[in-house]
Structure 1
Amino acid sequence: MTHSHAPRPTHPSDSARPSPATWLPLAAAGVTVVLWASAFVSIRSAGAAYSPGALALGRLLSGGLVLGAVCLVRREGLPPRAAWPGIAVSGVLWFGLYMVALNWGEQEVDAGTAAMIVNIGPVLMALLGVRLLGETLPPRLAAGMGVSLAGAVGVGLSMSGEGRASVLGVLLCLLAAVAYAAGVVAQKPSLARASALQATTFGCLVGAVACLPFAGQLVGEAGRAPLPATLNMVYLGVFPTALAFTTWAYALARTTAGRMGATTYAVPALVVLLSWLFLDEVPGLLTLAGGALCLAGVAVSRSRPRRRPAVVAPLKEEG
């Protein structure tokens, strides 16, 4: 005797309900953007007591300890051999060189100038993704990045004021932008072979090893630094590094480098909001307009074109 199983009735809202594969990467990218924005506020405190290399090393050691503990609990193990080239390159360029260059650059130029230069990174990321990874640059993504870049320039100009800028500082921020873009593009292929946690953990450890020459500075400055500065350095390692870089890698594994880079243009807008809330820095009209442009550009770049309904040609009557 055969038993027939009737198909489960489909609820009308099932098709409209987003699948986890759709919203989880977007949520992960959102976590990254918020925590990276908070890093700018923490760097204000930690950077006053720690030199650029020592701050980068302390941040990476804090993040590496947390990530290593999570890896041991989850029994992740070592990444596959094929993933190591991308992890090593991203570790040196993004976790190491980018953090040192940005910390140093922000001591030589004002925050607005640094923000404008570093925001070249997502554009370079998209171009390198097209050139090296065979990604495409859809018109909506290009347009959205253009709008966001204009917004970032507006935020940068409004924050610059009468701040100082040196040739060395500009070059350091440009170096940070290039290292950021190259590191992300190098990490992308490794995520096809290693998990997001593995890529982040060992990339962080590679960056920490690259920053070991600053260990003497870190030990000396840690003994003199006020407690809030050290706590901010640890915060930078645990949240904007360990957690945010992992959620970034999770999202990057499920989309293109160009689209992920465009998402980071929300950071300047959030920095303005956080500075307003925690540092009592009231933004001006140009700052608010620039932040709004950043968010508008991200919305355009993340949107997908609507599919046009298929047009069925009418049948010709015979006779």
Structure 2
Amino acid sequence: MSSTTNPATAAEPQAGAPTWLPPAAVAVTLVLWASAFVAIRHLGEDFSAGPLSLGRLLVGAVVLGGFAVTRELPRPTGREWVSIVTIGVLWFGVYNVALNEGEQRIDAGTAAMLIQVSPVLIALLAALFLSERFTIYLGLGLALAFGGVALIGLAQPEGGESDVLGVLLCLLAAVVYSVSLILQKPLVARLPALTITWLACTVGAVACLPFLGTLVTETRSAPTSSVLWVLYLGIFPTAIAFTTYAFALKHMSASSLGVTTYLVPPITIVMGLVFLGETPVTMAYLGGALALVGVAVARRKPRSRATVATPPA
């Protein structure tokens, strides 16, 4: 997992990109991914895990392909193809199937919380393979934010039951997501976000093709509203959100970007309350606030010695 980017400038927006654009891309991604947790939970009665993954990825691949064919896109090298195929199988294939099956067993808020072990893994992997600095602010922010999502996970209604397999599937999704993000970081240094997302999404769809027969059967019996939700998952949390996330990764370090996903559980809880009638208890609100504090701390940059030594003018 070698990187072709300069770690000293990995977190800085590149020339030509407005400074507000990467944060805006992150915000779009977080909201759409939070909505995906709620939509997946809602669709659990009409679509099983594999077919739902295939339907979502087919829609995403078609939408992204429609934009890609209108542009002159660079061709990946042999090594880049290996990374893209790996990302497609892991992040778009295994991740989606594992998460979908996990949410058949546990609620959306808990699933979103469990995925948040990934920023810790991303920070460690980025330090090992991308030469990114593991600063004291990042470490403290990770601890605070993870404590926040842990509170969210503990804040379950009385009488709620936990499902060990569901928990393990969500943790598997977190692991493959973390590995995929580290693989993607060197790619965004040369390839457009649209190219990477389109190719990886297409690979993921191909990997899920064994579920095609079941997808056709379940689509025929599903209500129109559920089919429209599958289309939503393919267009917004997949085609749009994965592309905006790849764009943000081009302008931010992997560890800094990864920690922002701690905002997903609080957003998911609010959406779950509105659309699924899942009412969080007080501890969940405290956990969401702590997660916000953790993200803010992790995004701080240590002051350089030169800056500290400079006397006031």
Using the size of structure 1 for normalisation, the TM-score is 0.86
Counterpart in 2 of 1:310? 309
Contact map agreement 2:42 2:276 (CA 8 A) in 1: no
1:285 aligns with 2:282: yes
* Deviations 1:198-221 (CA, angstroms, capped at 9, x unpaired): 000001001101111111110110
Counterpart in 1 of 2:51? 54
Equivalent residue runs for 1:23-172 within 5 Å: 23-76=20-73, 78-159=75-156, 161-172=158-169
Tell me how far apart the structure 2 counterparts of residues 83 and 169 of structure 1 sit (CA, whole Å): 33
* Deviations 1:158-182 (CA, angstroms, capped at 9, x unpaired): 1464333333223212211111111
Query: What amino acid sits opposite 2:172 in the alignment?
Result: L
Equivalent residue runs for 1:168-207 within 5 Å: 168-207=165-204
Counterpart in 2 of 1:243? 240
* Deviations 1:109-159 (CA, angstroms, capped at 9, x unpaired): 344543343211111111111112221111111111111111111112214
1:225 aligns with 2:222: yes
Tell me how far apart the structure 2 counterparts of residues 21 and 139 of structure 1 sit (CA, whole Å): 28
Contact map agreement 1:110 1:165 (CA 8 A) in 2: no
Tell me how far apart the structure 2 counterparts of residues 277 and 117 of structure 1 sit (CA, whole Å): 21
SS at match of 1:108: coil
Q: Percent identity?
A: 50
Shift of 1:103: 0.7
Larger radius of gyration: 1
* Deviations 1:193-243 (CA, angstroms, capped at 9, x unpaired): 211100000010011011111111101100101111111111011000100
Gaps of 5+ in 2: 1-15
SS at match of 1:200: helix
The RMSD of aligned alpha carbons is: 2.0
Query: What amino acid sits opposite 1:101 in the alignment?
Result: A
Contact map agreement 2:98 2:170 (CA 8 A) in 1: yes
Contact map agreement 1:265 1:294 (CA 8 A) in 2: yes
Contact map agreement 1:83 1:191 (CA 8 A) in 2: no
Structure 1 stretch displaced more, 66-75 or 108-117? 108-117
* Deviations 1:226-282 (CA, angstroms, capped at 9, x unpaired): 111111111011000100000000011112111111010000111122223334444
Match 1:274 to one of 271, 276, 280? 271
Contact map agreement 2:157 2:281 (CA 8 A) in 1: no
Tell me how far apart the structure 1 counterparts of residues 250 and 158 of structure 2 sit (CA, whole Å): 39
Counterpart in 1 of 2:256? 259
Tell me how far apart the structure 2 counterparts of residues 223 and 66 of structure 1 sit (CA, whole Å): 22
Change (3 A) 1:58 1:160: farther
Contact map agreement 2:193 2:247 (CA 8 A) in 1: yes
Gaps of 5+ in 1: 1-18, 313-319
Counterpart in 2 of 1:4? none
Change (3 A) 1:110 1:278: closer
Structure 1 stretch displaced more, 143-152 or 59-68? 143-152
Shift of 1:51: 0.4
Query: What amino acid sits opposite 1:40 in the alignment?
Result: F
Query: What amino acid sits opposite 2:269 in the alignment?
Result: V
Tell me how far apart the structure 2 counterparts of residues 174 and 283 of structure 1 sit (CA, whole Å): 22
Match 1:295 to one of 287, 292, 296? 292
Shift of 1:82: 4.0
Tell me how far apart the structure 2 counterparts of residues 103 and 280 of structure 1 sit (CA, whole Å): 20
